[in-house]
Structure 1
């Protein structure tokens, strides 16, 4: 081996040694770089996970707030619905009460209207009766001044007649419709009039012995039940069948009543 070969061998070893050292240094730098990048990735992952946790926490908080708000809204809605239902029920009850009150008022109005019609009918009847009595009174006055008065004591028919005669009068004679209406309007109780069949059963005569020409008998009268020979004017307004022109009744002469006198 010559010197040149030795030099080349040494130079080759130096080159290989230098190349190996450079290669080893380069590998160490790459390892450090990988570790550095791994640390960065780990930090980024940690930060990302932290952000995700924060976002999840925020989401949970917002979700809880939303659920609470919805729960409160639902509760408020239920309360509002219950209040509305109570109000509706109250209005329904008030409406029912008002309908009942309206029905009662309508019934009262109808009842008052009927009473008013009855009163109007009575007023019209009384007005017509008053007018008729006035005409009867005027008619009687045309025939001459007449005085009528009622005895103050209840007596039998004969004593009542005597009461009238003691005062220059006699029991009343009623021979016209006008007079019958007028006498009926003067009395408010049953009274004797000057008519009887005491002398002969069934033959009615007035106290001046004039015969009866027209009678104003109550329904079913005279019936001569139990020796009834004297006549009363029966005052029973409102009794079925009674009217100013249907008010005479035969009665036992011993009954005690007041008499209507004519002077």
Structure 2
């Protein structure tokens, strides 16, 4: 019972009044207004539905935008391209999306990336500019490598200037030098 109804009931009780006539109330004549807790429930429900629709719209827009771009960023700022490309084209693919091929300069990062790749992928290391002098895409020199045994090797005299990761090999020994024209997916990093 609302407070307003309580006061109306108190006024309309059939009680003898010593100073005047008895009162009789007709409740049908009193307007029913939407005050207090009776209106809160529908208002709350409407606001809740509006919030849910807004959240659903935002989520839908996010996934539509992601599917148009063709990639989704991971929480670590990494993503793998979906197309097989040469090393240079893979790098350009990353750059077109505000990133570059990944730089792996710690054992922790090497382990992390190796944990989610399932196929051979390009990383941001090469000796394209100066044979035997490995540099990352940001021009920093290679300090620690995670090479397959016997690599880098320029197999059979071929120019193998770009570096891939090979997931079947051990995590700390899965880098291989390869011809830059080979087609692979690339790991991009923002």
TM-score for the superposition, normalised by structure 1? 0.43
Q: Which of the numbers 171, 180, 186 marks the counterpart of 1:244?
A: 171
1:229 Cα deviation (Å)? 0.2
Q: Is 1:200 aligned with 2:130?
A: yes
> How far apart are the structure 2 equivalents of 1:178 and 1:259?
19
Deviation at residue 218 of structure 1 after TM alignment? 0.5
Residue ranges of structure 2 left out of the alignment (5+ in a row): 1-74
Partner of 2:181: 254
Provide the secondary structure at the position in 2 that maps to 1:164: helix
Structure-2 residue corresponding to 1:154? 84
For these two proteins, the number of residue pairs brought into alignment is 114
State the distance in 2 between where 1:187 and 1:246 align: 14
Larger helix proportion of the pair = 1
Q: 2:143 aligns with which of 185, 210, 213?
A: 213
Superposition map of 1:9-88 within 5 A: none
Deviations 1:102-134 (A, max 9, x none): xxxxxxxxxxxxxxxxxxxxxxxxxxxxxxxxx
Kindly report structure 1 stretches of 4+ aligned residues shifted beyond 4 Å. none
SS in 2 for 1:167: coil
- Residue of structure 2 equivalent to 1:177: 107
User: For the aligned residues, what is the CA RMSD?
Assistant: 0.9
* Rounded Cα–Cα distance in structure 2 between residues aligned with 1:162 and 1:146: 20
**Displacement of 1:243 after TM fit?**
1.0
d(CA) in 2 for partners of 1:212 and 1:224? 18
